[in-house]
A and B are shown apart, each in its own frame.
Chain A
Amino acid sequence: MAAGTTSSTEVPAKGAGFPPFKTETFPSQIFWLVITFAFLFVVLWRIAGPRIKGVLVTRRGQIDGDLAKAQSHRADAEGASAAYQSALAAARGRAQALAEENRQRIGGEIDRAKADADAAAQVEIAKAEARIAASRGEARAHVAKAAQDAAIAIVARLTGDTVAADEAASAVRAVTGG
């Protein structure tokens, strides 16, 4: 503290003058500046600088490496996705082909079964028609026989004559046009 001063404008009694311009302090100032500045220079140059640079370089390398890794992972993922898509498309195509083939095979079987059934039905129909024709002939024969018997009986009742079966049959044929 400036003990000898009484106001801010007054110059201190001891060591008069503007302090930074006191040349007698210069040697000490330069001396200690050189020591401290050189010390700081060596520390920053040899220890702090390389250390910070090392960390920065490592970090940059790490970031670049991670980015490259992420990039390659993305490429891998895209490749896998493309492979999946193509496999999916192939499988879908195969499934469609298979379904088409099945459809055609089943369609063929159905047609064949239908044809078989139709054929069997035709045979049955033919048999049945034959049976019907036979029955009809038989029935017609029975009717002719009955008419013949009736004609013989009528003649015998009316005339007392016995008509031969052949005669009666031809007479019935003549009447019925058979």
Chain B
Amino acid sequence: MAMNPMEQFTIKPIVPLHIGGYDVSFTNQSLLMVVVAVAASLFLTLAMSKRSLVPSRAQSMAEMSYEFVANMIQSSTGEDGLKFFPFVFTLFVFVLFSNFFGMIPGSFTVTSQIAVTFALASLVILTVIVTGFARHGIGFLKLFVPKAPLALLFLLVPIEIISFLTRPISLSVRLFANMLAGHTMLAVFAGFVVLLGGAGGVLSVLSIAPMFLIVAIMLLELLVAFLQAYVFAILTCIYLNEALHLHDHH
């Protein structure tokens, strides 16, 4: 009777596709990623198509998202971080739209897949490493050497290295686990509604309770959807700041 709450995370092929021995079928997840990319592109270009000085509601939202990310970068990395604006903006918009489209019942949450979040996090860390070495050369390794007495460095340097290496994991798992947990919870309570409703009698009436809970969790999940996109983007900014300025800004 009840659905498996993990069922919603199953990737199902729509159009089977194989390239070079790899299964790159167009799946329900691919569809949502295309929807996200196209919707975000359309929203951010069409809303701005009039370029009016006094913005419409849609244009105002597009501008707000732009300024939100621009301010985020500026406050955490300074002016020279703004050259990473397109990257951070894309990350933020992609994660935000993925999270929000995942809230539509029956759709698919792109960011509830560890492969996607880990790929995004790896892209961030890769950008950080490339930027760091391009900017400071081998001096970028000073990032792992905090200002501390020599004796402590034997302890601190490994800790710094480990904390740096775990960043892609923490960055990806945070987003993945948040989306996964929220949607699982929703599915579990939805299962309760179905179970109680089908039980008959007093229990059917009681099914209204998990229903209200779902509404409440839904609102919470909308907040989480935004918050996780924000956290992903701001952590990217913070990591980029380290690559740009090492420990100077602290």
Contact = CB atoms under 8 A, between A and B. Distances in A.
Do A and B form a real pair? yes
A157 interface: no
Given A20-B9, A48-B45, A52-B66, A33 B116 contact: yes
A108 interface: no
Contact of B4 (A12, A53, A62): A12
Which residue, of A21, A29, A45, A54, has the highest number of chain B Cβ atoms within 10 A?
Answer: A29
Contacts of B85: 49
B191 A48 contact: no
A40 B40 contact: yes
Contact of A29 (B44, B113, B176): B113
Interface residues of B, number: 58
A34 B119 CA distance: 9
A27 B86 contact: no
Interface residues of A, number: 47
Nearest to A27: B22
Interface string B1-21: 111111101110100010100
Interface string B36-63: 1100110011001001110100010011
A37 B119 CA distance: 11
Contacts of A43: 37, 40-41, 44-45
Nearest to A43: B41
Contact of B30 (A2, A12, A15, A28): A28
Given A31-B24, A36-B36, A58-B53, A52 B62 contact: yes
B89 A49 contact: yes
B4 A5 contact: yes
A30 interface: yes
- By secondary structure, the A interface counts as helix
Contacts of A10: 4
A21 B41 contact: no
A32 B114 contact: no
Given A30-B119, A36-B36, 6 more contacts: A7-B2, A29-B113, A36-B37, A45-B90, A52-B66, A55-B55
Interface of A: 1-2, 5-8, 10-12, 15, 18-22, 24-37, 39-41, 43-45, 47-49, 51-56, 58-59, 62
Interface of B: 1-7, 9-11, 13, 17, 19, 22-27, 29-30, 33-34, 36-37, 40-41, 44-45, 48, 51-53, 55, 59, 62-63, 66-67, 85-87, 89-90, 93-94, 110, 112-116, 119-120, 176, 180, 188, 191
